[in-house]
Amino acid sequence: MSDSGVIRRLDSSSPGVLLGVREAGEASSPPLLFLHGFPLHGAMWAPQVAAFSSEWRTIAPDARGAGASDVGTGQYTMELLVDDLFAVLDQVAHDEPVVAVGLSMGGYILLRALEREPQRFRGVVLCDTRSAADGRAGKLARAIGIRRIEQEGLEPFVDDFLEAVLAPGTRAKRPESWSGLKRMMMENSPIGVRGQLLAMASRVDTGRVLGSISQPSLVVNGSEDRLTRPAAGKAMAAKIPNAVFSMVEGAGHLSSVEAPVEFNRILGRYLQHIR
Ligand code: MLT
């Protein structure tokens, strides 16, 4: 058993491609789904699994190409990642609606999944994420990233990514979170990371779903997030009926990892309200 739960390999939406899914907690507890950010995998949720698996059945899948999941062709779309999520939910949650927590890329997957099949969700937590699709500059930056990983391998990309997304104080204050995140990112397949860049660059805008989210919702943002600024998180929350906005002080883009105690306090309050 890893810190993020027992890893099972389950069917994806493509024949022969298996996905790693981390599960912890009692089978009779209500399901709590965690969707990881890019270019991480499900182990990023270890602090939340430790805090909540006594009362919830935690489910943290590795996206295609990440962690214990197969890579497949490396040609991914956001639609494919949502198809994979539905395949996993069919196997682990059956017809029971889940409370879902998605951080950044996990939030992109969750928003599109809510647009397609809202009945699968009982509660929605969107962390350091947005509904807008990439603009011109964003798409070009993804293309540069894909080329760079092909030419130089994963490590220089990962180093620059961490520099860009963590709060300036995180590396000094919590060096273990920097090194743990880097280790996790380096465990991923370079082909998978490039496939996820492709999926994010080609995803559609999901802004139209915000006004129809009827589940109790929480939007969380690191106060130092330079990729998804707190003002953008707040604006997204304002468009979701029944959404509460909370800020994780001092955290950057990876708020659940950078400030797990404060993040868990916020998530715990929301989960108590849901139960
Ligand atoms: C993430 O944390 O999942 C990524 O930063 C998302 C993105 O690059 O848009």
> Is residue 77, in this structure, part of any structural domain at all?
yes
Assign 117 to helix, strand or coil: coil
Which residue has the CA at smallest separation from atom 4 of ligand 1? 38
Nearest by Cα to 131 from 113, 158, 152, 157: 113
The pLDDT score that the predictor gives to residue 1 is 63
Structural domain includes residue 45: yes
Q: At 146, which CATH number?
A: 3.40.50.1820
**Residue 226 belongs to a domain:** yes
Is residue 202 one of the residues assigned to a domain?
yes
**258 within a domain of the structure (yes/no):** yes
Structural domain tally of the chain?
1
With a 6 A CB cut-off, is 37 part of the ligand 1 pocket?
yes
Residue 107 domain-assigned (yes or no): yes
- Dihedral through CA 54, CA 112, CA 128, CA 88, nearest 10? 30
The answer, yes or no, to whether any atom of ligand 1 lies below 6 A from the CB of 105, is: yes
- pLDDT < 70: residue spans in the chain: 1
Quote the domain boundaries for residue 10.
6-274
pTM value is 0.98
- E strands, the chain, where? 6-11, 18-24, 31-35, 57-61, 98-103, 121-127, 217-222, 243-248
Q: Distance from the CA of 105 to the center of ligand 1, in angstroms?
A: 5
Q: What is the pLDDT of residues 51-107, one digit of tens each?
A: 999 999 999 999 999 999 999 999 999 999 999 999 999 999 988 999 999 999 999
192 belongs to a structural domain = yes
Q: Is residue 1 part of a domain?
A: no
Q: If DSSP codes are grouped into helix, strand and coil, which group holds residue 201?
A: helix
pLDDT at 123: 98
User: What percent of the chain shows pLDDT beyond 70?
Assistant: 100
d(CA 66, CA 119): 27
What per-residue confidence (pLDDT) applies to 99?
Answer: 98
